[in-house]
Amino acid sequence: MKNEKLALFLLRLGIASVFLYAAIAATLEPSNWIGYLPQFLRSIFPAETLLRLFSAYEVIISLWLLWGKKLLYPSVLSVITLSAIIIANIGQLDVVFRDIAILFAALSLVVVSKDSK
């Protein structure tokens, strides 16, 4: 049981760190990250505003994952977010292929969270 709790924490920490890194990096260097936003969204909203909002969303997911309460919800949000990132940037698979592993880590969090509910 102790190892399971540690494994679950490490999984949450790993996924949270990815979202937190992206949020911080996008805030510090928005020009490096704007290109990953889908073009149709950039045509509707100002790109920098959209990026700031998405970064805030990523921080919220990160903190919620680290908090560990009602874990099913941030886990599902992580799966949806990572799926959307992969689909929206499938043409840049050389960059986003790592997100597939993170997606499966988030999926395993969903499974574990659903079982422990």
**Per-residue pLDDT tens over the stretch 69-101:** 999 999 999 999 999 999 999 999 999 999 999
| pLDDT of the residue at 52 | 97
Cα 34 → chain centroid: 16
CB contact at 8 A, 18 and 102: yes
pLDDT value at residue 114: 85
Q: What is the pLDDT of residues 1-57, one digit of tens each?
A: 789 899 999 999 999 999 999 999 999 999 999 999 999 999 999 999 999 999 999
What does each C-alpha distance from 95 to 1, 98, 113 come to in angstroms?
36, 7, 29
Would you state the torsion angle of the CA atoms of residues 62, 68, 70, 75, taken in this order, to the nearest 10 degrees? 50
Name the amino acid, one letter, at 37: L
pTM (predicted TM-score): 0.94
Q: What is the CA radius of gyration of the chain?
A: 15
Distances (CA, A) of 50 to 54, 56, 63, 78, 113: 6, 10, 20, 18, 30
Q: pLDDT class for 115, splitting at 50, 70, 90? A: confident
pLDDT reported for residue 117? 59
Torsion of the alpha carbons at 102, 104, 107 and 108, rounded to the nearest 10: -100
